[in-house]
Chains A and B, each alone.
Chain A
């Protein structure tokens, strides 16, 4: 019993020592890993900062937050890991310290003996436990488990912290692109939400036929599903929204036309009645703003005072009104026709029947007016929906422009021109490749600035503005930012309007035509419904010359103005052989068809219209 008590006391002493050592071991382990954990978190931050400088990924504040989170996660993971290594009871810890301190399993054996896990004779047990206690008393845990960390680890952590700070807080040229990407994402989300709302509205719209509702819902749902795709590009979003807008716009236009037709019919009927009323003596003057039903009511009230001639006139007016309403409301037309017949067959007699017929006609007219009002409301709603879709499409377009502009900024100067073309017109590669680089650049320059500053490029309308001084100022021709869009409708005809004298009307494609060996067809015929066969020419080729890249450099005159190169003897003035006023209508018509066909983005249609308005010939001389 005394032996057991002594063993128990020694057990507490041994386990107490083990607990103290274990706490110190964990602390030492954590301190040893602390700089490494910090380095791991800071490496994440530095990596993110570096990545954010290579690609538009995160804002500086986000990278800083990410760094802090990474450091915290690393510290927590390290603490958990250290804590995990300390799991187990005193015997488990004792085994570890037997190894760490070179105790030759004295400690763990003693604890197991006391705990009864293993057995031996008393003499050996006592000697072993005494031996373990004796050895433990000689262990210097502070020297064996120093609370220090490697200086190299701290140095690495310090360097990583410095690198992360520099990468995070130095100005990042990609940050603007990140902001733009975020705006684009928000725009797409808003657009999708708007389309969902419109889908819900259309699903319960009582004014829509089932067929119209089905078509609209189909178009909207297709657009929504496109917008909901994870990696949708702004261009795709714009196309989807344009498609939805087209569907809504068609519906709105149809409803507007229907409402206008009904309104015109009612107005015609009202005009006929008003004319009759105004022509009758003693009938008083009808208000100019009175509706057909009100005029009918007034006519019914005064019917008793009508002379037979006036009755005949009224019946005639009713017949005219019936004819006007026949196309939009056969029921109202029939009621008015019946009233007219009653008044014609029995003038002055059976006034009750006539009044009843008039009343029926008035009621039918009121219904027709209400229907017209509803149609107008429906048309207005449809217009609003289309407007919303258009607005969202414009936002998506802006987002696409911003993203495209950002990507253009990243391109080398030699690739700037193709990027601009694609950005401006949402063109296919074939379309964007149909122009020479110098011409496109020149067009953008002239549009960007009336002052014609060399080397400056710009965009108008939805394009936003950007400048790239790396682009050389080449050429003097102007070109609209929507020219590429027009090309889709005009074929390769194109139309250029430069700010510089002598360049108006010079078409870039037309200029290419002679270099292209005459393969450019219908270059002056914009009636090709936007379809034109032509060979894409990327490199200028001289007539009769060998194919291949040729650099054409215009010499400068002594006064600094560029001079043209070539033989212009037959046309020394450089004027178009076809009068401008003769061909302008063709171009404008082709542009209008392109606008109606939906090839031109909604947001750019006004630009196109304004463009052609500005190009309208002012006199015969043009």
Chain B
């Protein structure tokens, strides 16, 4: 496996590339600006995203379009109950060589790509899910005691259906925690829906042009992660995450009533990283509270484990996060 070179990206280039990527994706995707922004943030941060939405809202289209806009190797894995781990990571196959000898040769699976679309990930068995999740965390694949490094950039953009259906295997919390964002793909508004109809029912199907390659994506990410964060903003993020824990003093009423476990430190990391990229995407060079508030729902909603009351009353994690943001003071002015 060869390493993708990292291209230094200036702030001007970052801005231009980001705008180009969003523009290209939005040429295809209509009315999913927030989802596009969130997926882009995950890609630039080098993390993975989980997209959730009812079927037919364009989750797969969004990821495919993103792959089209980025000059990356794309692979799609349709998760089904009979999908085996080897179907994802690959397997050693017995191959007869020219000299007549037979030997095992590693046949790489679809995970050996830059951008993986794990479609309906919760339809596969936990064993198969864990094969992908190991690759997401370690960015390596081990087959027959041999490890294979995945080529950066490596992004997994998974989708899952929120509806309870037969034969689904919900992702465990530990595995959900490996996704930087959980992006809700909402139903488009009327105007957006009309736009979708206009663009997708004609003879010509719009496609996104490639505007950035892998090296640029990595360079953009490295630049964005250097964005400065004021100490009180960092403290605010820490307090925000702590406030999602019901046993914390600053936890609001909803957290105390409906949350069983709060967000992990990975959630705080995801917020900071996402906020940095969000700030640069907004044309700012520092992280503001607005950036934190913009990315906090996506970073925390899959990290809140509701208790029985929360599940019984169908409390939305987004409502809890909004309550935390509303009640938490931005700064304590204590130096």
A-B interaction? yes
A residues engaging B (CB < 8 A)? 88-89, 91-92, 95-96, 99, 104-106, 108-110, 112-113, 117-121, 123-125, 127-128, 131-132
Q: Is the CB of B284 within 8 A of A106?
A: yes
Q: Is the CB of B228 within 8 A of A124?
A: yes
Number of A-B contacts (CB under 8 A): 73
Segment touching A, from B40-48, B113-121, B174-182, B286-294: B286-294
Q: A residues within 8 A CB of B286? A: 104-106, 109-110, 128, 131-132
Q: State which of B10, B11, B233, B335 has its C-beta within 8 Å of the C-beta of A105.
A: B233
Beyond A89-B335, A99-B330, whether A124 also contacts B284 by CB under 8 A is no
In Å, the complex CA distance between A424 and B10 comes to 102
Q: Is the CB of B231 within 8 A of A112?
A: yes
Q: Is the CB of A123 within 8 A of B11?
A: yes
In Å, the complex CA distance between A132 and B330 comes to 20
In Å, the complex CA distance between A101 and B33 comes to 28
Q: B residues within 8 A CB of A128? A: 228, 285-286
In Å, the complex CA distance between A128 and B285 comes to 5
Is B107 at the interface (CB under 8 A from chain A)? no
B22 to chain A, nearest CB (A): 21
Q: State which of B10, B231, B333, B335 has its C-beta within 8 Å of the C-beta of A118.
A: B231
A108 to chain B, nearest CB (A): 5
In Å, the complex CA distance between A125 and B230 comes to 12
Q: A residues within 8 A CB of B285? A: 124, 127-128, 131
Q: State which of A99, A104, A112, A121 has its C-beta within 8 Å of the C-beta of B284.
A: A104
Size of the chain B interface, CB-CB below 8 angstroms: 23
Q: A residues within 8 A CB of B230? A: 95, 105, 108-109, 112, 118
Closest to A103 in B: B288
Q: A residues within 8 A CB of B334? A: 88, 92
Q: B residues within 8 A CB of A92? A: 333-335
Q: A residues within 8 A CB of B226? A: 120-121, 124
In Å, the complex CA distance between A438 and B289 comes to 84
Is B227 at the interface (CB under 8 A from chain A)? yes
Closest to B230 in A: A109
Q: Is the CB of A105 within 8 A of B289?
A: yes
Other A-B contacts than A105-B232, A120-B226, 4 sampled, CB-CB below 8 A, are A104-B290, A105-B233, A124-B11, A124-B226
Closest to A126 in B: B285
In Å, the complex CA distance between A112 and B233 comes to 12
A81 to chain B, nearest CB (A): 14
Q: A residues within 8 A CB of B231? A: 112, 117-118
In Å, the complex CA distance between A106 and B227 comes to 12
Q: B residues within 8 A CB of A112? A: 228, 230-231
B2 to chain A, nearest CB (A): 27
In Å, the complex CA distance between A131 and B223 comes to 17
Closest to A111 in B: B230
A319 to chain B, nearest CB (A): 106
Q: Which 8 A-B pairs have the closest CB atoms?
A: A104-B288, A109-B286, A128-B285, A120-B228, A109-B230, A105-B288, A127-B285, A121-B226
Closest to B226 in A: A121
Give the interface centre of A104, A127, A128 by most chain B CB atoms within 10 Å: A104
Is B254 at the interface (CB under 8 A from chain A)? no
B12 to chain A, nearest CB (A): 10
